[in-house]
Structure 1
Amino acid sequence: MSARINIARPASGGYSPDPHGFANSRPSAGYRAANPDDPIEKLRAFARQVEDYSDIYSQPLKPHLPAIGRFLIVGTFLEDSWRITTQWGDQLWYLQRHRHFPWGLSHLFLIINVLTMLVGSGAVITKRHTEYAVGGLLGVVVIQAFGYGLIFDLNFFLRNLSVIGGLLMVFSDSMLTRKKLFAGLPSLSENDRKKYFLLAGRVLLIFLFIGFILRGEWSIARLFVSIIGLAACVMVAVGFKAKWSAAFLVVTLSAFNVFINNWWSVHSAHPQRDFLKYDFFQTLSIVGGLILLVNMGPGGLSVDEKKKTY
């Protein structure tokens, strides 16, 4: 005998496909497919395409990015040590005459600077005792600011903040291979420390571009580059599309460096040559820090990382 199933019927006597009322007659508010004709979607698709092509064509260069970044970061210290050595008499005269260093102390000041910069730069390039090298180079930045009386020079101050940011990027890059650092801080894991140093490095790196915006004569082209560059700086600081905004700043600052800080085109006897040369190598250091950012990514404290979580 077959089982009999009673199917409920509506009052009108017709068939009801949902006798228990489980269906929802209201329109769904769930995910809807993106409209390919939407301008924002077109922009996103173009950005994804650019990222894909960039990944493909930059693959041969990626293994060498850390070495290139490290070398560029210490470029300003190598140039500075060479300049002090070749202009020894002028450096002593300036320290003794204008900064009132006593004889002997001025010599010691210069010797310590040169040795620290040479040894520290070599250690950064060869990735040996990187944390001590970064500490020594940070010390050079600080004592030169006070020793040469440039601590209150806004342009010098902003540039040195960016150089410090580059050194912090080197420090972050080395933290994965150095586990014994900060042994007195057991509450922080190695990854946590790296996140905070990467954040500090990202924020400090952009101050060079802010200095570029604040100085010089304005024009339409300068205004356009400043707006785009400032947007890229904000993206680097908050860690949104950080790799690509950092890559944009690498290209922009490199072009700016070649055309504006072209010290090689100035006569060797002209006093402006040394200033342009100093600015050129400092900008190279910031470019090196941005290259390390492109290689490592923005770290855990960034919008890019939060987007992966959510």
Structure 2
Amino acid sequence: FLRQTKHVLPQVGRLCLISTFLEDGARMWFQWGQQRDYIHATWGCGTLLASAFVFLNLFGQIGGCILVLSRNFVQYACCGLFGIIALQTVAYSILWDLKFLMRNLALGGGLLLLLAESRSEGRSMFAGVPTLRESSPREYMQLGGRLLLVLMFMTLLHVDTGLFSVLQNVVGSGLMALVVLGWKTKLAALTLTLWLLSTNLYFNAFWTVPAYKPMHDFLKYDFFQSLSVVGGLLLVVALGPGGVSLDEKRKKDW
């Protein structure tokens, strides 16, 4: 699978990863007044500051996505998108909602993997030059990205005594542990990708709900956030777990 998709998989992963930022940026454009009024009503900050918040979210997200897709200033784009995540976490009171907080952290893990990929591309220009010290930050970015990505799957686990739910929880937890430890990482990440993609299409089918209903926006938000985590997992499949992993340790032992 990797041999057949090695040139396509990173591009697909990047596109999926930034999809939630593209969707949210477009929502800021089409729902400018609603978003401004919500921030003004929640924080009582006045329409000027509320408009500035919407403007920052709109251009910060769209601009960051353009830079990521064009492969220009990716590190600056990722830092800007990190800032957007932090800003929205505070502005929308996500800090007090554990489920949404974990999903935002998982999205941040995907951005860490994107940063690691950009560092890898930058060093490939100087093949043959020793880069032992430079590789360490990238390896820890990959580790941090793996750890944060699995938070998305923790929000999908359900406490249920049904046979299917128990089996799903056991298999999902096992795959998450493999990704965290970095053992059989690519296979585990690919399996989690297929699992998350299938559950996302089934549970977050926002296109089946009329646009005027509030549930449409909630499902759409969940769908694109899950799709971004799929993109992060695809980058794990394409890049591997990095140096801080059992897979890498096994290679060195051999």
TM range (shorter): over 0.9
Q: Which residue of 1 aligns with 2:252?
A: 309
Structure 1 ranges of 4+ moved more than 6 A: none
Q: Which residue of 1 aligns with 2:42?
A: 98
Kindly indicate whether residue 215 of structure 2 is the aligned counterpart of residue 260 of structure 1.
no
Aligned partner letter, 1:140: I
Please list every run of 5 or more consecutive structure 1 residues that lacks an aligned counterpart in the other structure: 1-54, 180-186
Aligned partner letter, 1:230: S
SS at match of 1:59: helix
The structural deviation recorded for 1:92 is: 1.4
Kindly indicate whether residue 136 of structure 2 is the aligned counterpart of residue 192 of structure 1.
yes
The structural deviation recorded for 1:60 is: 2.5
- Calculate the aligned-residue CA RMSD, in Å: 1.6
How far apart, CA to CA, are the structure 2 residues paired with 1:86 and 1:248? 36
How far apart, CA to CA, are the structure 1 residues paired with 2:209 and 2:43? 28
How far apart, CA to CA, are the structure 1 residues paired with 2:162 and 2:214? 27
Q: Which residue of 2 aligns with 1:111?
A: 55
CA contact (8 A) 2:140 2:244 kept: yes
CA contact (8 A) 1:99 1:148 kept: no
Structure showing the higher helix proportion among its residues: 2
CA contact (8 A) 2:22 2:62 kept: yes
How far apart, CA to CA, are the structure 2 residues paired with 1:178 and 1:131? 11
Q: Which residue of 2 aligns with 1:283?
A: 226
Q: Cα deviation per residue 1:84-122 (whole Å; 9 max; x = unaligned)?
A: 111111111211112322120000011011101001011
Q: Which residue of 1 aligns with 2:99?
A: 155
Q: 2:215 aligns with which of 272, 290, 296?
A: 272
CA contact (8 A) 2:37 2:47 kept: no
The residue correspondences of 1:202-221 to structure 2 (distance < 5 A) are: 202-213=146-157, 219-221=162-164
Q: Which has the higher contact order (CA 8 A, sep 6+)?
A: 2
Q: Which residue of 1 aligns with 2:128?
A: none
Please list every run of 5 or more consecutive structure 2 residues that lacks an aligned counterpart in the other structure: 124-130
How far apart, CA to CA, are the structure 2 residues paired with 1:170 and 1:308? 24
State the TM-score, normalizing by the size of structure 2. Answer: 0.93
Moved more, 158-167 or 93-102: 93-102
SS at match of 2:4: coil
Aligned partner letter, 2:196: L
How far apart, CA to CA, are the structure 2 residues paired with 1:64 and 1:236? 22
Q: Cα deviation per residue 1:232-272 (whole Å; 9 max; x = unaligned)?
A: 01100110100000000000000000000000001111110
Higher Rg:
1
The structural deviation recorded for 1:221 is: 1.9
Aligned partner letter, 1:282: Q
CA contact (8 A) 1:99 1:149 kept: no
The residue correspondences of 1:30-69 to structure 2 (distance < 5 A) are: 55=1, 58-69=2-13
Aligned partner letter, 2:217: D
The structural deviation recorded for 1:298 is: 0.3
State the TM-score, normalizing by the size of structure 1. Answer: 0.76
The structural deviation recorded for 1:219 is: 3.8
Q: Which residue of 2 aligns with 1:143?
A: 87
Aligned partner letter, 1:234: A
Aligned partner letter, 1:144: Q
The structural deviation recorded for 1:231 is: 0.7
Aligned partner letter, 1:229: G
